[in-house]
Structure 1
Amino acid sequence: MQATAALELGNMLRDTGDEAAARAAYERALEFDEPAVTPYVDESLELLRRSTKSTDPSTAIIGMGLLGERADDPAEAIHWFAQAAELGVPGHSDAACGRLGEQLLAQGDRDAARIEFERVSRCDVPGIAARGEFGLGLIRYEEDDLAGAVAAFVKTASYASDDDLGEDALNNVRVVLDGQRAAGDHLGAATTLRRLAEVVPEAHVAEWAYETATEFIEAEDNDAALIYLRCAVEIGAPEPAPEAVLALGECCTSAARSATGAAKSSRRANSSTGRRAPKTRPSPTRQRNAWPS
């Protein structure tokens, strides 16, 4: 019966001429899954369409945004969000740009989406700007600009640290990180970890770097392990984890021994080769054919 009550309230408000409040009541009614709502759906949508023609931009833009959200056809959604974006209502139009960018990107129009996301990213409201940065991060990731994607996702997380969008951004950074590690781009992964430490507690990032290093130590890949250990100690400074410092020292010592052994082997090989191989002599100039006399 909650839907019925909301509908009756909407009718009362509409009769008094308060269309904005009536629209809000109708929208509230539509949230309830009750048979009583169905006959009023068309009436509610018509009220929203009428609100888009309001001379008050703040009223018109809300109607446009709601119609865009309810549109089943992507082209219709793009139409309403584009209309809302052009009204220039602070905050609301920027949010509409963000939704427009998402729709355009979903339709494969990356260049048009980028324009909208860049506009949103310049918004003074951090929560709205975060959506622009997130969209830019998605585009850069699709274009294999991993450093640019990470930068955008980190900005998103810094703007929206307490909501789901911030968590989604951090998850995307982890996706990039896992991809870099799997591809053997350990220097790139270390750079990503340093960026991640801007929005995630440094101790957590340093611990991840250390755990990754231990996996490479077990796999006898000291070169990769050194990269992550140095990263763990750097991020953990001024008080890095003792186990990371110890592991870094041991890994450096092991690498030095390996380098010394390789150098000695190389010198022995060169010396041995010098004794066995004959001296190389320059090739003689071939005699030219004599001109017959």
Structure 2
Amino acid sequence: MRKYIFLDNWVIGRLNDDKFQTSLIEYIQSNRYVVVLNSLSLTELYNPNWQQGDRTEVAAKFYASIPCVIVDPAKVKQAEVDNYLDRLDELPIEIDLTEIDPEERERLILGLLRCSPEFVLQGKDLEQWDLSYKNEKSGWLNNVDHIISHAINTGSLKKGKKHRRNNALAEKETFLLSLDMREVPSEKIDLLFQYRMSKLKRTSLCSSVRFLSLLFWYLYIDEDPSNKIKHQNSDIGDLHQMTLIPYCEVFTLDNSMFRLVNRVKNEGTVFRSTLLTKAMLEKKVFV
């Protein structure tokens, strides 16, 4: 698998600093990283009024200078469902820009960011992606409450936050498995259980589906008192982004999410990604 690096939106916000951008490009190229973009990364850059001033041009020029690919986290999770919820050997790619001439790469990225008919006709319409994300985001915390209430009603969780940290390991695993199974069509559940029970050697590396379930657990159920993260509808965006961690060599994120993901890792979850906060990335880039 390629050595993927994910750049959070705050990294893109620093590209107007020429010294930082030049050093970041050198860091990516010298380590032979491939930048992984997804629909949310692009949506965060979307500007319907780009004619009146457009930061997307800066981002497009940056991405044109480095190898990059575009993936869809939803399709990654669907591929894992088809793979019996095991981690994939290769990351499914929507658009591979690694071998394209830099000028053509910049043209394609700008076309995607500006909703060119060339991409809209292919179903890659950033305006629709933006609307879809806003709709999902608007109801996310209500969805979280529904998931937790359902788990309490079915006995998977004890009622009341103060008791949740005392849930037995088996109860935690039952809840995590129920989250995993939300991605699985009902007609495939029995077959999936049979497969996983019969398979003696599953990969020890975490899948995106399970990683999302673990993030949900530690963000909303077994919360860390020393790292209280305010719950917001925009959490769904962070969660979507972080489901790519199992497939990335390097992943940049903010301080709160860094502590959250490290907690997941410290509980025994296996993934190879090096996590970098803003300060840590700067040390790497300006070494």
TM-score normalised to the size of structure 2? 0.18
Which structure's residues are more often strand, by fraction?
A: 2
Please say which structure displays the higher CA radius of gyration. Answer: 1
Bigger share in helix: 1
Q: Which has the higher contact order (CA 8 A, sep 6+)?
A: 2
